[in-house]
Amino acid sequence: MSLTKRFAAGFSFTSLCCACLTLAAFAVDCSAQQAVKTETKAGQQGEAEKIKVLIVDGQNNHAHWPKTTIMMKQYLEESGKFTVDVARTATIWKGKLAQEFPLGDGKEYKNLPKPKADPNFKPDFASYDVVLSNFGYNAAPWPEETKANFEKYMAEGGGLVVVHAADNSWGDWKEFNLMIGLGGWGGRNESSGPYVYLNDDGEEIRDKSKGNGGSHGPQHLFQVVARNTEHPIMKGLPTSWLHAQDELYDKLRGPAENMTILATSYSDPKYKGTGRHEPMIMVLDYKKGRIFHTPMGHADYSMECVGYRTVLLRGTEWAATGQVTLTEVPENFPTDKAESKTAFELKTKAAK
């Protein structure tokens, strides 16, 4: 073979090898890009499938509220089941801790010596599956438009979670009181509805006699006793467990319509209590909406209770969907004789 032919043959073979290598590299690159696209799409679908929670806050007589909002947000998100946003009034009250536990949303909040209504507080409730209220006693009224939008949201099937002093808010808002079932303080009395509790035989008593709504003695540990072990929120949990230091609300009053008491706590007279079994975990229906209500959660140390955290997650999922898939009971769940707490560790200085 001539030198020219040998060169041509070698060149053709080399070109073919290069072409093959180029095609192989292209195929690998395409596969990698497709994998990234698939992973990104799956991630987007995963986020879309999560339950969307809106925490509303800004004014609460319990000064821990900026921290407890962040705690609940982090607890919910860490479960992998929820995405959480926070809507806060521009005028905040008792919000000193908001500097230590900021939202990081770029907005300015004015901490005032007294509650003041925010005329521009207009959350887009319809964009969320469930709303969690961390407002409290003496919170200023929402704008009428916001109240109407929230009533519509709930009537059409929205979810609501009420923790601790959120049931102190707005004693004169009729529809809100129908949603929460029972509340305290805020001008509540016999005209607000009966005082509801369970007697020693487990019978529900609706006391219509005169009296103010809402009371509590000094903070202490107390047992939470299941009264409905088959409800999805309670299923699989111990029939009684010791809750961490908290305020035990008693003498709560309200319409109490379409309400089921899932658990109670004994208000012991030695802590200036009523000597009765007070509602501690409740669920309600408001038109097409669902409500999970617990008077527990006074402060950060109360929310560190593993039992509280567990029922908060379950109750929020139930309020949003009517079901509970977060059925695993933590190994360190409290017993009837021993409390169980996990110290809160802030993962980020700013919440979205």
87, part of any domain = yes
**Angle at which helices 65-78 and 306-321 pack, to 10 degrees?**
70
Among the residue ranges 24-33, 85-94, 212-221, 338-347, the one predicted with the least confidence is 24-33
Partnered with residue 204 across adjacent β-strands are 198
Using the Cα atoms of residue 326, residue 329, residue 335 and residue 336 in order, give the sign of their dihedral: positive
212, part of any domain = yes
Radius of gyration of the chain (CA): 27
Q: What is the pLDDT of residue 76?
A: 98
Q: What is the pLDDT of residue 31?
A: 53
Q: What is the pLDDT of residue 10?
A: 44
339, part of any domain = no
Band of residue 7 on the pLDDT scale cut at 50, 70, 90:
very low
Asked whether residue 33 carries a pLDDT value surpassing 90, the answer given is: no
| Tokens linked to 337 | 């004789």
Among the residue ranges 32-36, 90-94, 143-147, 275-279, the one predicted with the least confidence is 32-36
Query: 35 or 163, which is more confident?
Result: 163
Partnered with residue 161 across adjacent β-strands are 132, 292
The mean pLDDT value for 293-314 works out to 98
Distance, in Å, from the CA atom of 193 to the CA atom of 213, rounded to the nearest integer, reads 9
Please state the separation of Cα 300 from the chain's center in Å.
Answer: 14
6, part of any domain = no
The mean pLDDT value for 338-344 works out to 98
Following CA atoms 60, 65, 66, 68 in sequence, which dihedral angle do they give, to the nearest 10 degrees? -150
Asked whether residue 221 carries a pLDDT value surpassing 60, the answer given is: yes
Assign 3-class secondary structure to the chain.
CCHHHHHHHHHHHHHHHHHHHHHHHHHHHHHHHHHHHHHHHHHHHHHHHCEEEEEEEEECCCCCHHHHHHHHHHHHHHCCCEEEEEEEEEEEECCHHHCCCCCCCCCCCEEECCCCCCCCCCCCHHHCCEEEECCCCCCCCCCHHHHHHHHHHHHCCCEEEEEHHHHHCCCCCHHHHHHHCCECCCCCCHHHCCEEEECCCCCEEEECCCCCCCECCCCEEEEEEECCCCCCCCCCCCCEEEEEEECCCECCECCCCCEEEEEEEECCHHHCCCCCEEEEEEEEEECCEEEEEECCCCCHHHHCEHHHHHHHHHHHHHHHHCCCCCCCCCCCCCCCCCCCECCCCCCCCCCC
What digits encode the pLDDT tens for the residues 35-83? 445 454 445 547 779 999 999 999 999 999 999 999 999 999 999 999 9
Query: 349 or 58, which is more confident?
Result: 58
The mean pLDDT value for 235-247 works out to 98
Domain of 106?
A: 51-321
Tell me what percent of the residues of the chain surpass a pLDDT of 90: 85
11, part of any domain = no
The mean pLDDT value for 212-224 works out to 98
5, part of any domain = no
b or e along 60-82 (b: 16 or more beta carbons within 10 Å of the residue's beta carbon)? bbbebbbbbbbbbbbbbbebebb
Distance, in Å, from the CA atom of 280 to the CA atom of 286, rounded to the nearest integer, reads 19
Among the residue ranges 7-11, 103-107, 157-161, 208-212, the one predicted with the least confidence is 7-11
181, part of any domain = yes
The mean pLDDT value for 233-239 works out to 98
Q: What is the end-to-end Cα distance of the chain in Å, rounded?
A: 75
Q: Find, among 248, 284, 245, the residue nearest to 265 by Cα.
A: 248
The pLDDT mean for the chain works out to 90
Q: What is the pLDDT of residue 348?
A: 73
How many folded domains does the chain comprise?
A: 1
Which CATH number belongs to the domain containing residue 310 in this structure? 3.40.50.880
7, part of any domain = no
Query: 13 or 294, which is more confident?
Result: 294
Amino acid at 249: Y
